[in-house]
Amino acid sequence: MDDTRSRVTSTTSRDGSLDERDLAYAIAFKVFELRRAAGLSQSELAARAGMKQGHVSRLESAKSTPTLPVLLRVAAGLGMTLTVNFTPEERQ
């Protein structure tokens, strides 16, 4: 996952925003990080989130961009809530 972290931090656009693919990598790394911190395997998280292990694997490898319902299920499986944050763009 270190490769994913470096990809996310090195591929932002000039204005600092992430495109959809980069956002998928950022989400992938965060899910991986939270799952490992919780001491869960992909299979355990999948069972808690009501999905298959392969879906968690694709999510963590950024091979798919998750929908909000999927993120809500993953958050619940991790014992967390999902928070979406809108941040004003910095104007120059």
> Can you give the pLDDT of all 92 residues of the chain as single tens digits?
444 444 444 445 555 566 888 889 999 999 999 999 999 999 999 999 999 999 999 999 999 889 999 999 999 999 999 999 888 888 76
* Residue 48 token pair: 């808690």
Dihedral (CA of 68, 70, 76, 78) sign: negative
Task: Give the 3-state secondary structure of residue 85.
Answer: coil
* Residue 60 token pair: 């963590």
In whole angstroms, give the CA distance from residue 17 to residue 45: 30
User: What integer pLDDT is reported at residue 87 of this predicted model?
Assistant: 87
